[in-house]
Structure 1
Amino acid sequence: MENAYLCITNQNIENKYNERVFFTRPADEKKWSVSLNELQADELRKAWKELIENYQEEHEREIEAGSERPPQTSYGKWSRHITGGSQEAQLKDGTLCYAFVEKDGKNLKVTALYPVMIARKLFEVDPDSLLPESLKPPGTFKELSPADRVFGWVNQKGKGAYKGQLRLHSVKCLSTDAIQEFTDDPANNPGLPLTILGQPKPQQSRFYVAKDKQGGALSKGTPKQDGYASANQGLRGRKVYPHHKAIAHNTEYWNDPMRDRTGQSVNGYYQEYRRPKKDGTEQRDSQNRSIQAWVKQNTQFQFDIDITNLSSVELGALLWLLTLLDKHYHRLGGGKPLGFGSVQLKIDWSQTDLQLGQDWQQYYESLLPIDPPDPKQAEQCIDTFKQTVALAYSPKKNTEDFEEVLFIRAFKQAAKGLDGPIHYPRVSAQPDPDGENFEWFTENEKGKKLALPSLWDETGLPYWE
């Protein structure tokens, strides 16, 4: 009788019918044994723990939602190391795993351990280490950014909060018949089924990793292992949702949303926001959401903003955001990747009262009317904001180069919008009823190895059909 290990990883890939049995023979153990010192063993334990925890975190939402198998498979089960909890992350004596080895002279050197034969490999550095400290959530009042001070802050790792210096109130809809409803019986008809929205996948380094600290895209053909490879790299930038310029005012595109037109191209545009029917049946599951109504196009709202105790830079930033050029839009609410929530903001200056601190001091000391605000004060605050940003971030550190700051260029491009369809990368122009957009990434790795273009110089990504 021979000793053996039975490796049970479940039916984690399609077309798998058997588990593996590994026999341990004394002759083989002597031939293939590898000695490790304590430092090497500790490094392997740490790497194993990080890898298993990454596996479990990646699929946590899917499992909590009741999924019993990987989304890429029509049958099967999750691997044991994904559903086995924290104990799977502990590398103990007797743990059966796969070893990646290299020749080290006449001996073998173990460089990594994996739970399955075809496994993911962690990169050399993680996304958090590439994020500048100034962009990480603050832990103290001294670390608050202008945005934290204006809009408020809650400590993510302990006690502490700051209520902010801005209040929105008195919201009023100025349009009649502003809501379009899709169902009058939510219990039996949940409404309009939206297409699947993907969750962030930082492991797609071609979309997340920058070749430098300025956020430049990785070069075409960059090997996969060069993503998250060096502390000299950076992250691509802020998360933004470009305005869907081509279809924003296209009435035909948004009309009759309950009718499945996802297979029909109208002037090169498909009904991107709707989840396609499959075999004539609506698809509603844990991967997507349905909505019972939406706010119609061109609906107008009015609201008040109260501010207090803002610096010139903070007020200038707020005013700049509220006075963007015509046909530049902010994004508000859910469904932004689908084209929802493009809003244009305008200040009613006739109803605006902006005063400096000394002006309010004069008013409260005398309780007499004070002079109307000087319009130039708002312009001066905006100029102060622009000069401060340019001095800190422009390539030449010139106060006049605000428009050359890359994240300002990216934001303005997103606000202005892009020509052509905007959607997740996919193999063909027509939406896939099964939502299997991962096939685009598979084909990209096999072929051109393209990175997501820089938003300030957007060129789009190709279909592979």
Structure 2
Amino acid sequence: MGYRKQKGHLCDGEPVFYLTDTSAATDNNPDGLVFLGRAQMFRFPYDLSPRDLVPEDIKAAGLDMASAVFGIVAQNGSSDAKAVKSRVFFENAVADSGGPEWFERIMVPKTLSSPKPSCFQQYLTQDGTKSNEDLTTYLKGDYTTIRGHKLYWHRWNDSQSIDAVKEQKDHDGLLNDLLSPNPKDTQHTIMTPIKSGVTFKGRIRFEGLADIELGALLWALNLPEGCAHRLGMGKSLGLGSIRIDSKLRLVDRSARYGSWQESGITEAKEIDFMRAFEKAILEHARKTEGTVEESEKGLFGITRLQSLFCLLDWAGKPDSSKTDYMELKCFKSRPVLPTPHAVMEKDDPPGEKDLPRPAAREDDSTNTVSNKPSVVKTQPSPLQAKPVEKGQTRKGKLKRTDGCWVAIFEGDSRAAVIVNPSSIPAECADDCKAEFYITEQSKRTGIKVRFEKLM
């Protein structure tokens, strides 16, 4: 009987499944063999990696402020390896008082899995108007981008017990196993959470920061009122929500070392540096494609940060039932991750929703050549146009009716009410093509949309 001489090798007579593509046929590969595997539903690699889907302008941006302040480590083996020294140094934070009462009892939390790049419905930008069968993936023909930064909601409330994060099935047996010299379980871990209400004090030292960089550091520490940070293990279970308060002290080295009597330390107003940072970021956002709402105050005017503050809002966090840790069965239908404002049942700020992506150009240097069978996706005819639904971004036309602007969509005879008509440029005429966001749609109330931009 045959056997595998080495891991990954086939033995004589072992069946395999394969995939062919006539476009891949060559003299050396007349059948166009593309992939083979041992299982009928074998895995094959995507055309693109997550890094390939990072927008080119971000990859080409060079050293950003975070890297310049906190430093970067050179990547081994890289031809352009470089390292930047950090100018910020963190000391240990020490608890104010007490002893063992700082901690909850040791426990086994619910299984915490690692991120799975194949969960493309959550990690990649989706069209917002497509069905689950048409979700964009890492294939070359599915032109899309990485969706953004991954964050967890605050989801703890004072009425729940710490037992809510424990593994419910045979907890004590799992704990004994994991504490043994040779544990059998490989899917769980152990942890000792810190009790709610414990306070710590520490120092963050810095050197050589420009006013804007110091303002950025202070903004990162001092979140808007009602917001809180997330730290440590168990964030997906609701642990790790903390608030940080800071006091800024500056050291004048000339005064410090020029006199025995002078410490050179003075307290400074944090707000001055934070405003310098705000001003610089708002100016940058106005010059780039970032959307700025001038009616909002400070950094709240940047729509991306509105979504960030929505996620970090402790005081107004959504009901925990809306942000429960997803179990395996929840992924079966591949639900698209909603935006933070959608979870809060609010309208998304302009520019901060999942927009349809343009088709990839033939000469797009960011695309790689795919060896997989291509899938041709045709656009629906007007009679087959997808129905208008809340949460979509749709292209349509502007029409004047009784002196008011309305939106008309292909495949739907209803005129949609525009909730922000003052945003429509004065030079618009009938039949101007524009992009709209569907804020409401029902048989009773009709369609309501938000004007986004002219096409």
Give me the whole-angstrom Cα distance separating, in 2, the residues matched to 1:280 and 1:249. 25
Structure 2 unmatched ranges of 5 or more: 24-29, 179-184, 346-455
* Structure 1 residue 162: Cα displacement: 3.0
CA RMSD of aligned residues (A): 4.0
**What secondary structure is seen at the aligned counterpart in 1 of 2:193?**
strand
* Structure 1 residue 411: Cα displacement: 2.1
* Structure 1 residue 236: Cα displacement: 1.3
| Greater mean alpha carbon deviation, residues 368-377 or residues 409-418 | 368-377
- Match in the other structure for 1:221: 131
* Structure 1 residue 300: Cα displacement: 0.8
* Structure 1 residue 249: Cα displacement: 2.9
Give me the whole-angstrom Cα distance separating, in 2, the residues matched to 1:366 and 1:399. 48
* Structure 1 residue 129: Cα displacement: 0.8
Give me the whole-angstrom Cα distance separating, in 2, the residues matched to 1:235 and 1:170. 35
* Structure 1 residue 221: Cα displacement: 1.3
- Match in the other structure for 1:145: 64
Q: Say which structure is richer in helix.
A: 1
**What secondary structure is seen at the aligned counterpart in 2 of 1:162?**
coil
Q: Which of 113, 126, 136 matches 1:198?
A: 113
- Match in the other structure for 1:381: 276
Q: Which of 187, 193, 199 matches 1:287?
A: 187
Give me the whole-angstrom Cα distance separating, in 1, the residues matched to 2:284 and 2:187. 40
Matched, 1:125 2:48: yes
Moved over 6 A (4+): 368-371, 397-401
* Structure 1 residue 209: Cα displacement: 1.1
Per-residue CA distance 1:106-143 (angstroms, 9 max, x = gap): xx96363220322234444332210135666x9xxx94
Matched, 1:440 2:333: no
**What secondary structure is seen at the aligned counterpart in 2 of 1:154?**
coil
Contact 1:206 1:451 in 2 (8 A): yes
Per-residue CA distance 1:262-301 (angstroms, 9 max, x = gap): xxxxxxxxx2x1111249854752111112x321101111
> Structure 1 residues 198, 279: closer, same or farther in 2, change over 3 A?
closer
Contact 1:387 1:399 in 2 (8 A): no
- Match in the other structure for 1:157: 76
* Structure 1 residue 396: Cα displacement: 4.3
Give me the whole-angstrom Cα distance separating, in 2, the residues matched to 1:396 and 1:175. 46
- Aligned residue pairs total 316
- Match in the other structure for 1:423: 324
**What secondary structure is seen at the aligned counterpart in 1 of 2:202?**
strand
* Structure 1 residue 309: Cα displacement: 1.2
**What secondary structure is seen at the aligned counterpart in 2 of 1:113?**
strand
Give me the whole-angstrom Cα distance separating, in 2, the residues matched to 1:279 and 1:175. 31
* Structure 1 residue 415: Cα displacement: 1.1
Matched, 1:410 2:304: no
Give me the whole-angstrom Cα distance separating, in 1, the residues matched to 2:92 and 2:22. 71
* Structure 1 residue 218: Cα displacement: 4.5
> Structure 1 residues 454, 7: closer, same or farther in 2, change over 3 A?
farther
* Structure 1 residue 157: Cα displacement: 2.6
Give me the whole-angstrom Cα distance separating, in 1, the residues matched to 2:294 and 2:214. 18
Q: Which of 431, 448, 452 matches 2:337?
A: 452
Matched, 1:253 2:161: yes
**What secondary structure is seen at the aligned counterpart in 2 of 1:99?**
strand
Per-residue CA distance 1:415-453 (angstroms, 9 max, x = gap): 114322333323xxxxxxxxxx1x3222x1xxxx52111
Structure 1 unmatched ranges of 5 or more: 1-5, 9-79, 89-93, 183-190, 212-216, 258-270, 427-436, 461-465
> Structure 1 residues 231, 200: closer, same or farther in 2, change over 3 A?
same
- Match in the other structure for 2:231: 332
Matching residue's letter, 1:322: L
